[in-house]
Amino acid sequence: MTESIQTPTPSSGNARAIGLVHPVDLVVTLIILSGVSYLFYETTTFAEVAPMFAQNIQPSMYPQILLIIIGTLAVFLPFEHILLTRKGKDIDKERRDGIPRLTLFTMAFLIAIVAAAETLGILLTMIAISLIMPRLWGQKKIVPILMFATVFPVLVVLLFSKVLSVYFDPGLFGVAL
């Protein structure tokens, strides 16, 4: 379950091995710049108001300044490894290995369960998480999983709905305590 999928990351954070431009950080920069460009375009669609009403500060001005600052800082990212290497820091330590397969499965599970939460309702969502996630993470003993999936969500719902008056959406199936 914890097998790794190898992504094309450099094998070392050493500046000499990578050269002037860090390839992974170049991709990160391009992603940031794409986001910045899109959001900058969005700011151009903000409605303009009369200068007197806006007190000379249009609603787009401040986000545009921020986007320019973020974009400018991001441009330096592919070269930053040179400075970091001089300081003895390894920026690639956490990302040298690929994303573990279990992490990818967990991401997929989180997205699926959150997407289904509105339909299932909060109680059924909690039961589903308690049943599936321990198994996904390698818990082999069924009895503890079943005990966890029945006792824990019920306790949580009772605690939060009765003591803290939190409203739990029963979902389309109408399951609630």
Partner 1 sequence: MDAVILGLSLLLEFDNIMLITFGVLIGVLVGALPGLSSPMAIALLTPFTIQLEPIPAIAMLAALYCAGTFGGSITAILINAPGAPPSVATALDGYPMAKRGEPGRALGLATVASVCGGVLSLIVFIFAAPALASVALQFRPPEYFALAIFALSMLASMTGKSSLRNLISGGVGVLLATIGIHLTTGIERFTFGIPEFDDGINFVPVLIGLFAMGELLSQSGTLNKAVERIHAKAMQLPTWAELKSLKGVILRSSGIGTFIGILPAEGSTVAAIVGYNEAKRFSKVSHEFGTGTPEGIVGPEAANNAAAGGAMVPTLALGIPGSGSTALILAALIMHGFRPGPYLINETPEFVYAIFGAMFFANIAFLAIGLVGAKFFSLVTFVPKTFLWPAVFIFSVIGAYSASSSFIDVYVMLTAGLIGYFMNRHGFGAAPLVMGLILGKLVEEAFSQSMIIYDNNFFALLESPIVLFFFALTFINLSTPFWTGFRKQKANT
Count of residues that bind partner 1 according to CB under 8 A? 73
> What is the token pair recorded at 72?
């400018």
Question: Between residue 45 and residue 74, which ones bind partner 1 under the rule CB under 8 A?
Answer: 46-47, 49, 53-60, 62-63, 66-67, 69-70, 73-74
Between 19 and 97, CB nearer to partner 1: 97
Between 17 and 105, CB nearer to partner 1: 105
- Among residues 120, 23, 155, the alpha carbon closest in space to that of 79 is found at 23
Question: Between residue 29 and residue 48, which ones bind partner 1 under the rule CB under 8 A?
Answer: 32, 39, 42-43, 46-47
CA–CA separation, 81 and 133 (whole Å): 38
Q: Exactly one of 12, 17, 21, 89 binds partner 1 (CB under 8 A); which one?
A: 89
Residue type at 146?
A: L
Whether the Cβ atoms of residue 175 and residue 121 lie closer than 8 Å to each other: yes
CA–CA separation, 152 and 156 (whole Å): 6
Is 123 a binding residue for partner 1 by CB under 8 A? The answer is no
Is 118 a binding residue for partner 1 by CB under 8 A? The answer is yes
C-alpha of 58 from chain center: 31
Is 138 a binding residue for partner 1 by CB under 8 A? The answer is yes
